[in-house]
Structure formats: C-alpha cells, structure tokens
Structure 1
Amino acid sequence: MLHPPKYTVRRFQPTDAPSFYAAVRESIDDLTYWMPWCSKEYALSDAQAWMETTRDMWATGAEYPMGIFDANTGEVVGGTGVNHINRAYRIGNIGYWVSSRHTGQGVARFAAHQAAVHGFKELGLTRLEIVVLTHNKASQRVAERIGAKFECEARNRVYFQGAPHNAFVYSLLPDDLK
C-alpha cells in the first residue's frame, strides 16, 4: 500500500508569508550562515516581500522558487526551486533549504527531486546543476541521492560570505532522476 507523501512542493502564495517567516525564524542560526538573504533581523515584512518577488519571478520566467510544505499541516518547512536559467542552452540550477527541525528526514531530497521534475517536464530544460560549497556535506548527499553526477570542483564558483569559494558541481539529466 502506498503512503501519501509527507511533503508537497508548490509555488508560494501571499498567504504563505507567516508560515515562511516562522520557518526562517526557527532556523535563523543555521540559515544566516548559508543563505545571504537571511539575517538575524529577518522580519515578517521580508517574508511578505519574498512572496511578491516569487510571483514576479514566475510571471517573467526568470526563476521558479517554490515552497516545501508539510502535507498534513500546510506549514512551510523550506524552499526549493529552479534558478540561473539559460534558455539558449536549456540549463538551470536547483537550490534548496530545509528548516532546522525538519533536517535529516529526507525533505531536501524530496524537494530537490520535485524541483528537478519541474525543470525537466514543465520548463523543458535538458540539464540541471546543483552547485555546492565544498564543506556543505549535507547538500552534497542530497545531490548524490537524487542521482546527480559529480562533475568537478570549480574554482571560485560561489561567492560566499564576502569571498569567492570553490564549489562542487553536480549535474542532472532527465534520465538521472531516481
């Protein structure tokens, strides 16, 4: 017997702002290290502005940010999406984050897989990359577990905390998805 999924991935709606804010605030110590958009002063108004920004990104086709939601409660447990899209070459990038109390439960793996499905099936992309700082072991595991192939360590690939850093580049093709 199949079990219903514990999580869903979908576009953000304006009404998701309070739940998004709560997920960020509960994870603030972890997120401020990894995410340049997050600071100790993160406020509900920032979450509301993000909901508007995501709507605009979808409308222009610039990026496709999505929320990760608990399927039972509807609460936001993280974010994912497809960004850095190059339509001429039909490639993009997948990113993801999960609130602190939901890490280690397969949420990022589920969300990254869903973002990849969206990139391939809905956007018609033929290659997706996951670019991971060399010391971000958790994100490396997520990339590997969804079938992404390690390609290289790219020098100065990510600008992180005010300086360039090397990053591992993983790629996904439609047939790679597990």
Structure 2
Amino acid sequence: MGPAGINPILLNIPENFESNRLLIRAAQWGDGAAVNEAVHESLAELSPWMPWAQVPPTVQESEASIRRSHLQFMERKDLRMLLYHKESGQLVGSSGLHRIDWQTRKFEIGYWVRTSCSRQGYISEAVDAITDYAIRELGANRIEIRCDSRNTQSARVAGRLGFTLEGIIRNDKCDVDGALRDTMIFSKVRGMEY
C-alpha cells in the first residue's frame, strides 16, 4: 500500500513522456526484437555489470522479458521504460524505476545504453527526465542510483545530474563472476536536492 492506504495499482500515471531527443515509455508487447538487437550489439559493454547479459538472449527470451515488464508496470511493481530516439525510432537503451517502496515513495533508477548510442548523453538525458517524472508524477521522496564502485561511467551519470554520493557499501553484492564487490549509493531527497 502507498500513502494513506492507496493501492498503487489504482494510481493513474503516464506510460510515456518525452525528453529533448527521446520518447521514454513503458515496455509494450512486441518490443522484444528491438531490445534483443540492442542487447546483442552491446554484450561486451553490458556483461561486466549486468548479470542478465552473460549469455546472448533469444528473441523469444527478450520478448518474454518485455511482457513480464509490461505486466509489472501495470501492477506498479516495477516501472521499466524503454528509450527510443524520437527522430529515428531506434531503441537507444533501457531505464526505469525499480525496487519501489510506495509507502515511502522511494525509487531506484537503473539504466543501460546500446553501444552505438553510448557517450552521446542519452542516458544522462533519460535519467534527468525520469527523475523529474518520479518527482512530478509519483511524488518521489527519495530517488537512488546504485552501481558497482568500479562502474565509473554509471557513477559519472549520477554525479553529472546532481545526485549525492551517500556512501559505499563494502562487500555488498557479488559481481557477475561471483566475487564480492562494493556498491556506490547516490540519491536525491525531497527537501534537500529538490
């Protein structure tokens, strides 16, 4: 339950919005092929950080993942969003609001970009827009970005957008090879950063 006992499934929230260059929207049935293509293109860059990117998925596996994400969005359990370039229609990457706590209105932003679109500011643009969406549409009190302490590109996005590094949790998780890793936690908190 959310604040005042409101069931999150009853919340009317936009399923799509735009930034300067991107259409940001909930995953929809049929998006699997585009996601699959982007993941295959980007495995070398994704595999050091993403457990799900260790083995190239089939198109069917990508579509099944998209359909699960669509259902979770409808249930307000996880708000996966795909990033499409407004002019070309190309899938640029994926982001969204995860590990949601509706009672406190806490959300974690995750993200990845396809290799051919990296280092062009798309993820910073998307995360900035999704942060604004979380504040404006969802009443976010706390927004987090968590990343492996060695993932300097991800940490740079958080710093560039004014997220505060709250700390590093040592030996917090296992990396994709099973070795212990440290996790950096960045946040924006209502009343302090916005």
Q: Which whole-Å deviations, capped at 9, do the CAs of 1:151-177 have from their partners, x for residues lacking one? A: 111123333222432111110135636
Tell me the equivalent position of 2:187. Answer: 171
Is 1:60 the counterpart of 2:75? The answer is yes
1:21-45 C-alpha deviation (Å, 9 max, x unpaired):
1111111111122111123331101
Q: How many percent identity over aligned positions?
A: 27
Q: CA deviation at 1:81?
A: 0.5
What 5-or-longer segments of structure 2 have no aligned partner?
A: 1-18
* Residue segments in structure 1 that go unaligned for 5+ positions in a row: none
TM-score (normalizing by structure 2) = 0.83
Whether the aligned pair in 1 keeps the contact of 2:85 and 2:91 (CA below 8 Å) is yes
Structure 1 pair 123–32 and aligned structure 2 pair: CA distance change class (3 A)? same
Query: What secondary structure, in the 3-state scheme, does the structure 2 residue paired with 1:33 have?
Result: coil
Residues of 2 paired with 1:124 and 1:50: CA distance? Answer: 28
Structure 1 range deviating more: 162-171 or 61-70: 162-171
Of 7, 11, 23, the match for 2:38: 23
Cα distance between partner residues in 2 of 1:172 and 1:158: 23
- Matched pairs, number: 174
**Which secondary structure does the structure 2 equivalent of 1:40 belong to?**
coil
User: RMSD between aligned alpha carbons?
Assistant: 1.7
Structure 1 residue 139 corresponds to structure 2 residue 154:
yes
* CA deviation string 1:103-136 (max 9, x = no partner): 1100110111122122222222210111111111
Asked if the contact 1:134/1:166 (under 8 Å) is kept, the reply is yes
Letter of the 2:193 partner, please give it. Answer: D
The AA in structure 1 aligned to 2:184 is: F
Paired residue for 1:8?
23
Q: Write the distance in 1 (CA, Å) between the matches of 2:161 and 2:85.
A: 20
- Partners of 2:93 and 2:113 within 8 A in 1: yes
Deviation at 1:17, TM superposition (A): 1.7
Letter in 2 for 1:128: I
Q: Which deviates more, 111-120 or 135-144?
A: 111-120
The answer to whether the Cα contact below 8 Å between 1:16 and 1:76 also exists between their aligned partners in 2 is no
Aligned: 1:49 with 2:64:
yes
**1:47 partner SS:** helix
**TM-score under structure 1 length normalisation:** 0.90
Distance 1:21 1:41 in 2: 8
